[in-house]
Amino acid sequence: MNEQTPIAERAEKLQGLGCARKRVEDARFTQGKGNYVDDIKLNGMLFGDFVRSPYGHARIKGIDKEAALAVPGVLAVITAEDLIPLNLHYMPTLAGDVQAVLAHEKVLFQSQEVAFVVATDRYAAADGVELVEVDYEELPVVVDAAKAMAADAPLLREDIKDKDEGAHGPRKHHNHIFYWDAGDLEGTQRALSQAEVVAEESIAYQRVHPCPLETCGCVASMDKVNGKLTVWGTFQAPHAVRTVASLISNIPEHNIRIVSPDIGGGFGNKVGVYPGYICAIVASIVTGQPVKWIEDRIENLSSTAFARDYHMTGKIAATKEGKITGLQCHVLADHGAFDACADPTKFPAGFFHICTGSYDIPVAYVGVDGVYTNKAPGGVAYRCSFRVTEASYFIERMIDVLARKLEMDPAELRMKNFIAREQFPYTSALGWEYDSGNYHTAMAKAMETVGYQALRTEQAANREAFVRGETRSLMGIGVAFFTEIVGAGPVKNCDILGLGMFDSCEIRVHPTGSAIARLGTISQGQGHATTFAQILASEIGLPADRITVEEGDTDTAPYGLGTYGSRSTPVAGAATAMAGRKIRAKAQMIAAYLLEVHDDDLEWEVDRFQVKGNPERFKAMSEIAFAAYNQAIPGIEPGLEAVSYYDPPNMTYPFGAYICVVDVDVDTGVTDIRRFYALDDCGTRINPMVIEGQVHGGLTEALAIAMGQEIRYDEIGNVQGASLMDFFLPTAVETPTWETDHTVTPSPHHPIGAKGVGESPNVGGVPAFSNAVVDAFAHLGLTHTQMPHDHWRVWSVAQDLGLHG
């Protein structure tokens, strides 16, 4: 078979690692044939909709369902009272707290779920919602994390008021959730007190929201005849949902099937378990009919899964020459009304302690106080790995603040403090073991490509022209160098609700040389069906086009912890490679039998095993597959299947250098991103086209966060801007053209050296934009200004600096 075909040609045909393979998902999406949760239609399906709190904090004195129940089509109105007998009025959160499914006795944030109206269609359900009468008594509201910790602050969580021990240790105040710290406090204080230079800054990372284009939703269907519950929904972690659903409902896990159909973007929004899922399940059990719940956009932005809301205070110590000697950080973390963060159990502040960044900092200390406020729960990793975005924003701003103080170029200061290539594997002061990196090279390449020195010269000329009154525009150059930490994670220290964060892949090779691979992850646009087939094509020598990748159905997929925190490639991608290697090992034995040689006499080449030194004698994988099913081979079981559960030995540490050039109109506050260059190093590159697409998308989300997104609350707890009318999502007009670039530093511990990329651009992008805006005014004394840098805020900066005459 194809004896003559040269190796390169055969390899190309596989469309394996490194190939810019076109996506297999696209055929259905471009024809409107995707299958998203709201597309699901079942016989007799009902529709559920929420009555939500108009208040940020109020006591519920009574709920009158009567008028709602009189609406034609309305079948039921479920309240906390109905859930109490089932013990479902509260549900466990991923962070070890509980969250009200339907408000019991009081509401703690605006838009909180109060009652669930079930009706024959969505219009009737909405009519019912309008007519449920809830009698509230308003209570004092706290929307500021610092004020929540005041001695006389109102008590928010009456349900846990007597608990002075939370899931993560002692609580020091009635609105306190946890204190978590890492590093060497004494050593850091010593470094700070002995330092030649100390820079300090308070850096807030505002509350934002992942806002995928598709909101959250589900269809729950309880089949009372065979006792099986099926739930289709927007789940980034279907197996975890199944286990949690089983634990709280007492339905045995084999009788629950969770399916994630096509998902219209997740970005962290779809990791958690929301009251809507529980209510739809309960309603289906009660009515015996399938029940659909789909949140609308305003509900999405105001109730499910905010991100960030981190208030960070930092001190960084250095010598006069700019060698960093210590770093301290305290965070006031606003978690909203319930602690529903999606972090590995042992890390209530996620991986925030990656905040020493890409720098060789000898000593550091970080402490995080988690606090309750009258705001929506969440704290999800919005296109980032568990608080890494906050950490990266913090350190990359601090470096710039220090550079200003030292009167040193921020790029030069970074170069001076990078962890050197030969220091890897490098153990950071806060305890992480960085797997590999080549920071100096990446930074130098970035500076060279953008012409960094020329940009600085141009900036100096711009500033002089500004002084002469020839322009009203100031030029800013933002530099950011980030190190991500992704791929959670080693089971020894990463679990969610006790479930180890491994992932899995199961492969079946069919007799005619094609295959199906099933994984524990779930794509939300990342193109897993395309890229995981490529990994496998390279491992087992079958063309990617002949490998189906399936995810998201807990009845068929092996157990896995899902897709978020850029963990799919580092963990499930590794599981795929390892399962492929098991297939290959068995194939080798079969080939040896067929060729009548010893196993060791064979070598693998692209798509075949060949006899060493005699490449004309070979068996291609497709022939081996056929033999596996139709020949009785002594000592070898028939079939060609494998499964691998991969527990990564370490996280992976992607990194990158981003440079942004912005022109700021000081009279209008309008910012024009003139140029954005992003160099990413995500180790081995599986599909460059998909990587580039991920970078474009991540940078656009970073642009949104840095320049305009904010979920704000007024003093009395009204959420502001929770619709697309106000919440900033850039259009094609505001979005610049991105310049992408890369270096390749493989991960030494990952089977194919890949590190993951989906979230890097958000982690590195936000500080790059922010640094650019601050840099535009730096010569006038500005060291920091809070995000988002919308036109009004930027205008205010110019106003405060006296630029408006």
Residues that bind ligand FES (CB under 6 A): 213, 265, 525
Beta partners for residue 642, in sequence order = 507
Instruction: Give the tokens for residue 106.
Output: 């009081």
Helix (H, G, I), strand (E, B) or coil at 731: coil
Contact 186, 376 (CB under 8 A): no
Q: Residue 27 Cβ, how far from other proteins at the closest point, in Å?
A: 7
Min separation Cβ 709 and other proteins, Å: 12
Catalytic residue among 384, 505, 660, 682: 384
Q: Which residue has the tokens 């992480």?
A: 432
Show Cβ contacts of residue 596 under 8 Å, excluding neighbours closer than 6 positions: none
DSSP state of 21: P
The item of ligand FES, other proteins, none sharing an interface with residue 677, based on CB under 5 to 8 Å by kind, is: none
Distance CA 511, CA 513 (A): 6
| Cα 424 from Cα 693, distance rounded (Å) | 29
Cα–Cα distances (Å) from 140 to 149, 262, 330, 335, 790, in that order, read: 14, 42, 27, 18, 31
Q: Which does residue 379 touch among ligand FES, other proteins, none (CB within 5 to 8 A, set by kind)?
A: none
- The active-site residue out of 383, 404, 414, 567 is 383
Supply the DSSP string of 335-356, one letter for each residue: --SS------TT-TTTTGGGTT
Q: Could you tell me the smallest distance in angstroms from the CB atom of residue 573 to ligand FES?
A: 21
Write down the least CB distance from residue 25 to ligand FES, Å.
10
Map residue 695 onto helix, strand or coil: helix
Q: Measured at the alpha carbon of residue 215, what is the angle toward residues 41 and 374, in degrees to the nearest 5? A: 130
Q: Which residue has the tokens 């691979």?
A: 517
Q: Which residues contact 504 (CB under 8 A, 6 or more apart)?
A: 519, 520, 557, 558, 559, 560, 572, 575, 643, 644, 645, 646
User: 213 or 585, CB closer to ligand FES?
Assistant: 213
Q: CA end-to-end span of the chain, whole Å?
A: 81
Residue 740's DSSP bridge partners are 678
189 is catalytic: no
Under the rule (CB under 8 A), what is the footprint of other proteins? Answer: 22-23, 25-34, 36, 38-39, 41, 121-123, 211-215, 262-265, 267, 296-298, 524-527, 689-690, 692-694, 696-701, 723-725, 729, 731-733, 735, 737-738
Residue 696: contacted member of ligand FES, other proteins, none (CB under 5 to 8 Å, by partner type): other proteins
Closest by alpha carbon to 346, among 531, 159, 511, 497?
Answer: 497
CB of 228 to other proteins, least distance (A): 25
Q: Which tokens in the block code for residue 526?
A: 């990342």
Q: How far is the CB of 730 from other proteins (least distance, A)?
A: 8
* Complex with ligand FES: residue 309 or 701, whichever CB lies closer: 701
541 contacts: CB under 8 Å, gap ≥ 6:
14, 584, 604, 606, 607, 608, 620, 621
Q: Using CB atoms within 10 Å of the CB of residue 734, give its burial: 0 to 12 exposed, 13 to 18 middle, 19+ buried.
A: middle
Nearer Cβ to ligand FES, position 525 or 654?
A: 525
Residue 405 to residue 172: CA distance in whole angstroms: 36
Please state the closest distance from residue 269 (CB atom) to ligand FES, in A: 13
Cβ 430 to other proteins shortest distance, Å = 32
CA-CA distance, 48 to 219, in Å (whole number)? 10
Nearer to ligand FES, 213 or 420 (CB): 213
- CB nearer to ligand FES: give 54 or 265: 265
Does residue 463 carry a catalytic annotation? no
Is 759 labeled as catalytic in the residue annotation? yes
- Residue 588 a catalytic site member: no
Nearer to ligand FES, 296 or 601 (CB): 296
The nearer residue to ligand FES, 187 or 265, going by C-beta atoms, is 265
Q: Is the distance from CB of 718 to CB of 58 less than 8 angstroms?
A: no
Judged by beta carbon, residue 263 or residue 399, the one nearer other proteins is 263
Task: Quote the least distance from Cβ 525 to ligand FES, whole Å.
Answer: 5
**Beta carbon nearer to ligand FES, 235 or 426:** 235
Residue 723 interacting partner from ligand FES, other proteins, none (CB closer than 5 to 8 Å by kind): other proteins
Residues carrying an active site annotation: 236, 383-384, 759
